[in-house]
Amino acid sequence: MILSDHFIQQCQALVGVNSVIADQARLRVYECDALSAYRHLPALVVLPETVEQVQAVLRLCSTHQIPVVARGAGTGLAGGALPVERGIVLGLSKMNRILAIDPVNRTATLQPGVRNLAISEAAKAHGLYYAPDPSSQIACSIGGNIAENAGGVHCLKYGLTVHNVHQVKLVTIDGELLTLGGSGLDMPGYDLLALAIGSEGLLGIVVEVTVRLLPLQPQTQVLLAAFASVEQAGAAVAAIIADGLLPAGLELMDNAAIRATEAFVNAGYPINAAAILLCELDGMPEQVTADSARAESILQGNGAIEIRKASDDNQRKRFWAGRKAAFPAVGRIASDYYCMDGTIPRKHLAAVLKQITELADQYQLGVVNVFHAGDGNLHPLILYDANRPDDFAKAETMGGKILELCVAMGGTITGEHGVGTEKIGQMCVQFQAAELQQFHRLKHAFDPRGLLNPGKAIPTLHRCAELGHMHVHHGQLPHPELERF
């Protein structure tokens, strides 16, 4: 649906003519995020540069009942920034300034459009860095990281975004500016900061972030262990954690990922291995030496057929460059792929990997496994050809089965990519009706008219019933006396 000329002119008056996009050719840029299989043209794109402009635009949208979808760098993989009908996309890419770096308190204060990697680049002069490092860190923005609670290869030891943020400033749909969190380790009252992180733009628009910075480690060592089977590699992950070691990163790649990545970046991977583990230890030199020897012993005891140590910092970076380039590398060997994101208890890694292979055989689709093994966060890449009419539908179905397998194993349907549009059906598997109702009540407290990123993350109970994941008795959902939003 086309928005009125009057509304567009009001937006232009608030942010400037050059910061409002209305023509179809330029709107195409914003029709999807990195989950490009789902597309929808926005009615309008508005690009504010200040907090005040964000507040003014949201007040205007609230008055006219216009839905708003916030967008950062567009690197999300779950359709979280997918435009909605008759809605605007509020792009935050122009709000990209580092406002302050405080080396004494080890914090950085940032606008939401600042790139993840740019934080560490700016903090390096002070001997500091920002720990969460998604594979897309060269492009993804801190505002998007907040929305999806992004992780990365070092989240095993240093945590997800939620563990590395002190404060967020959030604008509600009515234009109110909220400050959540603070400069201390804890704040009185409910932990609304943790609530906002990972809320996928459903509660408010992030306009400023204060993150925790960490000192650069004196020494880092990476071990690359090769295995004759993916199951052995999965078992080795569980053994390392069970032994009490806490690597900075512990990543697994199967043979298909190894071969694609090695051809792409020449990372130095053994292309005949069924799987490799990258195990990074960091800290004081003495501790790193002891931990590396301990890890090597555990890996050998769990079937590693070869172990390589990074001989210098350049080789360490090459090992990690391969892992971070795995997704684009797989794009060179498949017409299309569907990247999944689920999490399971580490002890089930070997069993789940075996079942993923069985699902791939059942649906006659290829699968490449690349994931954060240390915290059980799976990223199977399902290979398909969009030119074949049924291929994407099969990939979606297979992906849903993998997520349901994660839930059955005691895990979750997402580790760091969020729910967005992609996993909204599996939310009905993960949660019961009463839990989903509480989510809707929470959303209603911040956004009573449901204008912020509607249709994402939290399914309606009717949708769950239609998907067959929730029982409906005599045409009524459970507890019909309860208010529905």
DSSP string across 376-421: TEE-EEEEE-TTSTTHHHHHHHHHHHHHHHHHHTT-BS-SSS--TT
Q: CB atoms < 10 A from the CB of 270, how many?
A: 16
In sequence order, which residues have a C-beta less than 8 Å from that of residue 346 and are 6 or more positions away? 237, 238, 241, 373, 374, 375, 376
Residues 362 and 49: their CA atoms lie apart, in Å, by 50
Q: What is the pLDDT of residue 189?
A: 84
Q: Which amino acid is at 402?
A: I
* pTM for the predicted model, two decimal places: 0.93
| Spatial CA neighbour of 200 closest among 446, 469, 393 | 446
Q: Is 310 exposed, middle or buried (0-12, 13-18, 19+ CB in 10 A)?
A: buried
DSSP 3-state of 26: helix
- Report all structural domains of the chain as residue ranges with CATH numbers, in order of start: 5-91 (3.30.43.10), 98-215 (3.30.465.10), 219-327 (3.30.70.3450), 334-408 (3.30.70.2740), 424-472 (no CATH)
Q: What is the pLDDT of residue 469?
A: 76
In sequence order, which residues have a C-beta less than 8 Å from that of residue 470 and are 6 or more positions away? 428, 433, 461, 464, 477, 478
Q: What is the pLDDT of residue 369?
A: 93
Q: What is the pLDDT of residue 2?
A: 77
Q: CB atoms < 10 A from the CB of 194, how many?
A: 15
Based on its alpha-carbon atoms, the radius of gyration of the chain, rounded to whole angstroms, reads 23
State the alpha helices, DSSP H only, in 23-177.
24-27, 51-64, 116-123, 142-148, 155-158
Residues 51 and 55: their CA atoms lie apart, in Å, by 6
| Biggest CA pair distance of the chain | 70
| Spans of the chain, pLDDT less than 70 | 1, 470-485
